[in-house]
Structure 1
Amino acid sequence: MLSLREVLDSKAPGEEGHGLDRVDAVRALQESVVAPVERAVREAADRLVRDFALPATMTFAQADEVRARTESALATLYLLSPTAGVRPDRWTPRLLLQALETYVRSALQTSLTALSRALGQLPTLDRALADVTAKCQNLVALEIVLGAAKPPDHPLLPSLSASSSASATAAATKHHNFIQPLLAHLETGSLASYFWRTMAGGLASRVQDIVARPGVVARTLKANRANVGDAIRQAVIRGCQPPSALAGPKSRGRAAEANWDREIAVMVGSVVNNLGGR
């Protein structure tokens, strides 16, 4: 599939694909075979990324199976990402980044909706925070998988030897693993930090809306601000821990060394600091 794309993308005069797009048989091949197969492969890979989850009850064997399927999907989206007309040092795996960003934003939106609703119905807060914690743990697990997986050599990108020294260096280091381009795209240092900080930004306005409507809901939330703040703090701490099935020595070491005080502060502050006076 990639070899055929390489030929068809080489459209400049003198290149092997020049003029092929005007051949009926080639156009028919693209429309009836190549495009549908590529679309099916991409959709299958997108679905595997979208369904990624590593619950706390998962065994090591099950986690290895999920990791293997996910790495296969990541490599597929990496290789299928368009390369035509892009300099090697400027190229990014667009399809891969789209799938991963969709996953992250879906986790954020679901969590923000659940937590916002629970703040108006405090008996449901523990359950909502447990769900939010699980979403963040999945992101932590995804970051571990992305960080450990090395992208395959892309046959459609010009070889490093054909690039300038600076371009070669950039291309060689830019995609050392799958997590680097995603963190650069999201402009963050970790997915857990991005998750909590982004959610805090959206949560503040939801709390302000609750407080702006005087009544039993606002009074109950204000009266329980200390308990709510502590529950959120514990949720952030738990959510930033890697799932046990992926918590090897390196992961446990990084988790122990990580400092999530800022994420705790912005999350707790997004609620408590917007409750006003008692």
Structure 2
Amino acid sequence: MKQICAALTVLLAAGLLVGCTVTVQLPGGEATPAPQPVQATPTPEPDPTPTPAPTPAGEEVDSPEVFLTSEQYDIYTRADKASQPLFGDTFSVMYQYSWNYSDQPEVERQADTGTTFRYQILEGENATLEYYREQLLTVFTPEFLEERGFDWRFISIDGKLAAADIGIGGNSEVSDVPDTFQLISADDNTVEFYRIAHYTIPMEGESTEDYIARRAVSYDKVGHLTIRLVNTENGWRVDAYGQPSFAGPDNEE
């Protein structure tokens, strides 16, 4: 019996090595095929995703998302809202943070520029100069805030945020035609592009109704506003920005 078992073992091993089927006739039973080794099915490699071609500099597109990374585009879109109090109505900051006018009367202060402004104290959760500055620095560079006069537009009075009582009306010639965008240059440290605003100029003798209707579908001139993003140690930040409502058409030669 031991000799029969040894012979069976040799036969099974030989069959497995050559990958064939070995039939073993056991005493008193029917022949039983020995199991074959399972062959692994190779997993096909996925087709590589093609890399989109970069947008050439100078090509006009409908959105800067075409040539910006997701981080850069997020910073750009946040800048549009965050920059409003730095261009026109300073008090628009209240609507962004749900702050209110304080019951305290306006206070006169002389800014570093030598101009005296009346400041309205604001109140609400986190309505402090330090908090507001920190929020803006998540979008803009310190140099941009300095350029836009942050230090005289907003000051601290008794530990509370105070806004200069100024308001600059927007340009009513801005057309409803959507802005377009044009890449100037881009590398790992800086991305610069134009935001192209459209303006419709009122015609002599044109009624208000006709002008509004024409402005909704057409434009007469454009303005190239420079947008610049820089890569800082804290991530991408806006270093130059323009608001169409507070700008105008390009100067004609």
| TM-score after normalising by structure 2 | 0.21
Normalized per residue, which structure has more strand?
2
TM-score (norm 1): 0.20
Which one has more relative contact order, counting CA pairs under 8 Å at least 6 apart? Answer: 1
Q: Which has the higher helix share?
A: 1
